[in-house]
Chain A
Amino acid sequence: MFDLLSFSDQGWGNALLKGLWMTLQISAGAFAVGLLIGLVVACAKLSAPRPIALLMRGYTTLFRAVPELLLILLLYYAGSMGLNALMLWLGFAQVNISGPLVAILVLGLVQGAYASEIFRAAILAIPHGQIEAARAFGLSGFGLFRRVTLPIMAPYALAGMSNLWINLIKDSALISVVGTNELLYTAKQAAGSTRQYLLFYLAAAALYYLVTLASNYLSGRLERRIRRWMPVVE
């Protein structure tokens, strides 16, 4: 039974590893998208004009209150339909958007909502004197953000972001529902064609578990490393 997991031609080992690689790629891409959205939205919530800040609050509430699976289905179908309509309107032929790209965008949008809350809290945790000092030095706008806000806020956001990364890996399994060949989808195919459901789902679960364990370990080390520079909180 276990030779079904082997790396030979008959085994599914290679396919599962390929699925894992796709899962990691999707997660990494979505993490980057989420990071970017999170930063922009956090700044907008803190300092944009009121209507925009309200809009951003609405986005965060909405994306954190609705099930991820529903959001994925909604954005996947409505998003690809909308994009095709746009292309048609622009006079291009219909595009077939690649599954992984849509997955990255959809998961990134969900991540962005959570990340923006983490960044907002981290930015608020910066002692205000630091910002004042930076302004006194003549920094403002993006320069202030890049050279002062971002580096001071990053350690505060680290723990939350590593949690988010682990959640993201787990959420990426939901993408299998719309048929992108990541780890769970591959396991589903393997299980369906060999009828060994328990074996393949347990194998895929073990792979996910390894990834989250490794992520936990690495983020713990990173946190300890960065905490050396953090002031001791009384």
Chain B
Amino acid sequence: MEFALSEEQEILSESVSKMIESVCDVDIIRNHSSGDKELRNILKNQFVEMGLTGLLIPEEYGGSGLGVLEASLVAEQIGKYVAPVLWVANSVMVPISLSDKGSSELAEKWLPQIAKGEISACIAINEVIGAREDSGLKISKGKISGTSIFALDGEHDPRIIVTAIDNNLYLVDAKEEDIEISEIPTIDSTRPVSEVIFNSCKADEISGGKEIIDKVIDSGRVILAADMLGTSDSMLKKAVEYSLERKQFNRVIGSFQAVKHMCAEMAAELEPCRSLVWYSAYAQDSIPEESRLAACHAKAHLSEVSHNIARIATQVHGGMGFTDLLGLHYWFKRIGLARQILGGPERVRKEAAKIQGFGVLI
């Protein structure tokens, strides 16, 4: 039994951290948020160069064949720097959607191109997690029509879009079919989300049914949990650092017990989250009977803890935390969006109960 990262995993985590840090700081994030999209391209190219785009893709399709645990370590680093880069859909959910044996033809066609970074892939499955009245998809005679909202990783003109209707996943070739993609403005400029309109698009049915949909959603939830872990860990560190610089009443504010206890409470809540995220990611790779429950709990619990940390860390920064000068709000907002997508905490907890057969839930 060993509940720890391997040396290779530590190295992966560190090298991703260094790479993102070298291209991404708060001023660049601010520029990105005001419309300069250069950072997205730089990060995308760096990820391709480091071979990260193929992290989860099997070796036979040109990837590294690693697992959700490794992907979650990358996600944590992305969250730490609030980096606007394709990850959760392009590099995790889409490769997993094509992991069923019956999908080998589609996998062979698309995964090598994703691994090399020649194309990007988008996930548009919000409607099977929480259907809304102003969106929805229909399929008739093998053609998909309708609108999907809050699609992930749609910002780089994706070549393929994986979507879901009822109990099946479908893959649409965006170059061949009539697709309209536009960015939905949310609070979080660091994680673009899209509206995807399908105009009678020919679609390939992906093998695996409901089971593969669950796997895709679970892995996405684990990745978002890991992202929130990185984001809130970073907010806590910034709060402690700031409290040791800022002086009032001739003392650093971090020497006041009121401030120390705010920081201690954040640390006490956050520390066990790291173990929960590791476990839930490891479960996706190695403990299938626990993977669904662990993913739900990781997503819901990290949403709650990060939400608290986003508020408290901002308060520790005082008035400066509220301004755009420090840019702390980019972290605050990244947590705000991640909490809601792929299922907000109440909805995900309801699923966690259902998975265990608790209650008469619909």
Interaction A to B: no
Interface positions of B (Cβ within 8 A of A): none
